[in-house]
Amino acid sequence: MNDQVHKQDRDHDQKRDHDQDRDHDEDRNHDHAPEPGHGQRHGHGHGQNQNQNQNHDHRRLGRELGLFDTDPLMGAGLPYWLPDGAVVRHALEEYVRQAERAAGYRHVYSPVLGKRELYEISGHRDHYAEDMFPPMELGAEQVVLRPSLCPHHALIYRSRSRSYRELPLRIAELGGMYRSEPSGVLGGLTRVRAIQLNDAHIFCTLEQAAEEAGDALELIGRAYADLGIRPARYRLSLPGEGGKYVADPELWRRATDLLRQVLRQVGVAYEAVEGEAAFYGPKIDVQITDRAGREATLSTVQIDFHQPERFDLHYIGADGARHRPVMVHRSVIGSVERAVAHLLEEHGGAFPVWLAPVQLVVLPVSQAQEEQAAELVRRALAAGLRAECAGPDRGSLGARVRAARLVPYQAVIGEREARDDLAAVRLRDGRRPGALPAGELLRRIGERAAARGTGLWA
């Protein structure tokens, strides 16, 4: 799954990296960005948009917010996740797992290494070798860091005999894979060498394939709504000229016809584009754009007749005979790295409540209220919320409010609030619901977090 996604966006990201690297050391404050349209009135619209794009650069935000970083000793394209970034990643991964479980997927784990022969069977060695790391010698064997999870899931499917009664069999995994990306195209989280992929493969009958692919597209749509992601367009990615594609015209025709049927049934407009297919089959790509208008693929759905044939997959049908399953590849959020990068830029670091590293910051007005503030934090943590206290030792109340501007909820504890177990609530968007009982505030935040979505207050 997603064998071509990072490769296809290389030219876009290389230009982006060149334009944005020079900005990393500049310190800009979100709060001082001009009002929308103000720059245009004075003839500086381009400069204003450029500054806004720079302020929303995920690499800048990721470092300013302490989400991720890199180190030369770890190597280029190998970012590490800091505690707050790990919170975002964990919340996103758990969301995907829950959504997949609700849709009937079974989760597996598979190793990030495989024998060279595995990728010769799958076709990766013939069609994708330039993006694979060189084999490693282990005695008489050669093993490879996997560039894809698909072959491993094919082997899991064929680990035992399968009946038509088991189909569709939906196998999902959040697993690591590796791409030998040139250093010139690496940047932030969008182009990396170690990738955590949200991947799944549905093994089904031919009659089930279109419905399963359609259900996968609808699952992607629900996830986008919860994450606040707006798809730019749907693309039917077809083969182009050249020898990088599997040479089987009938295979391509059947898979393409099924994907067109899926797009019609789901009712989304799409564009057919040649030269963007995976090497083994066509796919539906859900395209996103960043704030500068650059396009990338985040999610994909593929119908594959090639891998089942290469791995000699089969199931026993109702007639007692062996039949070849269809393999539907599906990724809801693509790579976790690219998804987090896009969410950072889309929301400017102001994550939806359920994804935010800190959901509630408690602000005692003075030292006299610190004990009550600490107690509210303890209650929030016990309720499963992510909360912290920002006391007077961090500056004036105004300074602390500004420092916590990306946190969804602020609870100010003054003398009255401390006495009556209240919290003066401020929302990230500037609204002030006023003083609420502390228990009610925690309940409301918990409900918003559990509901997913992007809303702050009901």
**pLDDT tens per residue across span 60-103:** 999 999 999 999 999 999 999 999 999 999 999 999 999 999 99
Which element (helix H / strand E) includes 399?
A: helix 397-403
Specify the pLDDT at position 54. Answer: 62
What percent of the chain has pLDDT above 70? 88
Which residue in 342, 404, 381 sits closest to 92, CA to CA? Answer: 342
Helical (H) or strand (E) element with 238? strand 233-238
**pLDDT above 50 (res 28):** no
> Can you tell me the distance from the alpha carbon of 233 to that of 268, in angstroms, rounded to the nearest whole number?
9
Quote the mean pLDDT of the chain. Answer: 88
Query: Which two tokens mark 296?
Result: 């990338």
Q: How far apart are CA 351 and CA 449, in angstroms?
A: 11
- Which two three-digit tokens encode residue 79? 């970012």
Q: How confident is the model at residue 128 (pLDDT cuts 50, 70, 90)?
A: confident
Report pTM: 0.86
What pLDDT does 312 receive? 97
Q: Rounded to 5 degrees, what angle do the CA atoms 36, 40, 41 make?
A: 100
The first and second tokens of residue 17, run together, are 């990296």
Q: Answer for the pair 215, 192: CB distance below 8 angstroms, yes or no.
A: no
Beta-strand pair 387-389/360-364: parallel
% pLDDT > 90, the chain:
77
Residue-level pLDDT at 14: 43
CA–CA separation, 282 and 253 (whole Å): 9
Sequential DSSP letters for 309-326: HHTT--EE-TTSSEEPPE
Q: pLDDT at residue 13 above 70? A: no
Per-residue pLDDT at 1: 59
CA–CA distance, 287 with 294 (Å, rounded to integer): 10
Q: What is the mean pLDDT of residues 46-71?
A: 78
- Name the β-bridge partners of 228: none
Say if residue 42's pLDDT is above 60: no
CA distances from 184 to 97, 281, 339 (A): 34, 29, 21
Supply φ then ψ for residue 413, to 5 degrees: -115, 105
* DSSP β-ladder status, 141-145 and 136-138: antiparallel
Residue in the block written with tokens 């989400």: 67
pLDDT tier, 2 (very low <50, low <70, confident <90, very high otherwise): low
Q: CA 150, CA 159: separation in Å to the nearest integer? A: 14
Stated length of the chain: 458
CA distance 133 to 145: 6
